[in-house]
Structure 1
């Protein structure tokens, strides 16, 4: 028997590779002769870098950059096993997990560090990029990243606008003359699982701003700041970001990548699946096992486990879903895509136990699942 092990992370407890290792241990507890292939996945957000590097046997680089509040930190980026494709996860430099709740500051939070990561990768000679833009702490329309790459944002008198999102209201012109010339040779694929426009009721600020610290009474203010930026972009460069699908991702970073780095959007899980060559590894496999921290109806809207199941189904390989918890009201809907849907949380295991010892319970539940299939095969 050959089993592909391809989970996402159990966010807050284990990384995707840690989940995969626990699943592998459970399978080998049943029979050491079972062939296992570990291909951890992600959907473009936090964890995408680790999954891609692990699955393709790539390597990491480290760079000194600023965090969302301008403090110096060490951040990682990577190159896939092809030694050509560079993976940058914006959450490494500009992610919300880098801040305490009390530190969230939508006025000052910047994507400058993400631009520094791109610049560091350009220095290493990379020109093919996958940019994962989930998990941001920012609502700055990507101007921090663009500043790090040489763009200048000027007031009517020709001087630079001040730092901070509100200063965008003073923006008159965007000067691209000092943009890093190496970007002309680069190709950017944007890994993203949202299609929100830049502004409006479904835009970056209205939908994602509150989790980044935007107070309800200031949503319209920050939305107007992003609108003014989009107005200038449209006036100067004839690119309309206002209602462009995906432009609102990562507080507007998606729009900046589209307009100035000519990035193209792809569903994060599709990028990861292609990069790890899942379809090739499915040859001669009997099962796939995947999972995530919690599975519910949202899983069926572009999340990593569904992407894995869809590829497996197309090649005739059944997929098992093992997640930390399952929304019971969505179990039947999930069973339309997975041959078996299991949760760590059951009549014998509480949510608290599963959170405290996730590796142990993933291993135990995986063992039970595959004991069942081995027994079925023997009958």
Structure 2
């Protein structure tokens, strides 16, 4: 016989993001489910780990899309061969590529970081592999790059041909330092012409003081002189592609979105919205009584496109209340509640306040399970 029901709740969707540096999204969702089951195992729980379209999106999407992780040796950010991951959905219609896997800053030691010499060529190779697997659409997550090559490496790996000012074909992978010396580009369509969907929450333009080189170049190893040369190169490259360098988002990932959009006909989309659409999250909310989301930190920045608020906003449009379990609540967290003009959360629980900061960081899964258990008990008590 099924266990006696202690709550009026019938179905709960657990949709957390990763808690940075402590727990992956899928593990956080399982911990939430475990806490719920301790109180009422008759509740149907839909574990739906989510992401904001940056690093970690591959791991969040694959389980829900019944997908598989694939590995391939591709070109690393300094031209070295590296092993990188990409994902394919179970039906092989959707591909997932993270730029950080092949062209990420974390792949380089501090002394190797030089955006004049780094390339996104390996990311293009991963996109090509997904396209040749027969994908109808490919999600490209562009956070964490080591590059400022304007996405020229991606274009080149996908078949576009680059020539210098002497009209000599460039055979080596394109880098940021080569952009200013380009003469012309012969664009080629990606194999099979799948739909490229680029997760991009950055609104910076390509060039200028808020552009790719000035804003993000220094953390990638650029000196002031490099920043100026890279900025000139990006402006020149945009001209060759007949693209508007002031387009919001073109400054993302060292200008990678420029090459993807102007060179590969990709679309820029808000990261969390793209992920939720790929997960068919609206349909999963329909018929649910509650959504539990979460991430490492809830604060005023959460209002500007982070996962928790994206989940809560969509759930609210379906008439479903949302509660967040978060690692810590920072300044402005209270503004995320729905009783504030910009908020969508019905409530939130801070692990640091509930079990202490040390346990929240070092025993995150157990802390999330305990938070979910106490949340369920509180909800049941409120019903009586």
Q: TM-score, normalised by structure 1?
A: 0.91
Q: Which residue of 1 aligns with 2:274?
A: 271
Q: Which residue of 1 aligns with 2:183?
A: 172
Q: Which residue of 2 aligns with 1:138?
A: 147
2: CA distance, partners of 1:127 / 1:339: 37
2:101 maps to 1:89: no
Q: Which residue of 1 aligns with 2:350?
A: 343
What's the CA shift for 1:192? 1.4
1: CA distance, partners of 2:362 / 2:31: 14
What's the CA shift for 1:70? 2.2
SS in 1 for 2:353: coil
1:193-228 per-residue CA deviation (whole Å, 9 max, x = no partner) reads 112211112211222223222234542232112112
Q: Which residue of 2 aligns with 1:287?
A: 290
2:318 maps to 1:315: yes
SS in 2 for 1:125: coil
2: CA distance, partners of 1:181 / 1:344: 46
Q: Which residue of 2 aligns with 1:226?
A: 234
> Unaligned regions of 5+ residues in structure 2, if any?
1-8, 339-343
Q: Which residue of 2 aligns with 1:188?
A: 196
Equivalent pair of 1:94/1:114 in contact (CA under 8 Å):
yes
Equivalent pair of 1:43/1:192 in contact (CA under 8 Å):
no
2: CA distance, partners of 1:77 / 1:128: 14
Q: Which residue of 2 aligns with 1:38?
A: 47
1:308-331 per-residue CA deviation (whole Å, 9 max, x = no partner) reads 10111111111011111111x312
Higher mean Cα deviation, 152-161 or 110-119?
A: 152-161
Q: Which residue of 2 aligns with 1:18?
A: 27
- 1:5-154 aligned at under 5 Å gives the runs 5-154=14-163
1:72-114 per-residue CA deviation (whole Å, 9 max, x = no partner) reads 2222222224431222221221122323334322222211110
2: CA distance, partners of 1:344 / 1:105: 39
SS in 2 for 1:77: strand
Q: Alpha carbons of 1:102 and 1:157: their partners in 2 closer, same or farther (altered >3 Å)? A: closer
SS in 1 for 2:22: coil
Q: Alpha carbons of 1:195 and 1:25: their partners in 2 closer, same or farther (altered >3 Å)? A: same
2:246 maps to 1:243: yes
2: CA distance, partners of 1:111 / 1:305: 30
1:115-148 per-residue CA deviation (whole Å, 9 max, x = no partner) reads 1101212332224222111222211111111221
Q: TM-score, normalised by structure 2?
A: 0.90
Equivalent pair of 1:205/1:223 in contact (CA under 8 Å):
yes
2: CA distance, partners of 1:334 / 1:122: 39
1: CA distance, partners of 2:314 / 2:370: 27
Q: Alpha carbons of 1:175 and 1:279: their partners in 2 closer, same or farther (altered >3 Å)? A: closer
> Unaligned regions of 5+ residues in structure 1, if any?
none
2: CA distance, partners of 1:130 / 1:122: 11
2: CA distance, partners of 1:83 / 1:233: 31
2: CA distance, partners of 1:180 / 1:10: 38
Q: Alpha carbons of 1:273 and 1:257: their partners in 2 closer, same or farther (altered >3 Å)? A: same
2: CA distance, partners of 1:324 / 1:295: 8
Q: 1:261 aligns with which of 261, 264, 269?
A: 264
Q: Alpha carbons of 1:156 and 1:215: their partners in 2 closer, same or farther (altered >3 Å)? A: closer
Equivalent pair of 1:75/1:93 in contact (CA under 8 Å):
yes
Q: 1:366 aligns with which of 364, 372, 383?
A: 372
1: CA distance, partners of 2:29 / 2:132: 34
2: CA distance, partners of 1:19 / 1:102: 35
SS in 2 for 1:6: strand
What's the CA shift for 1:300? 0.6
Root mean square deviation, CA, Å:
1.9
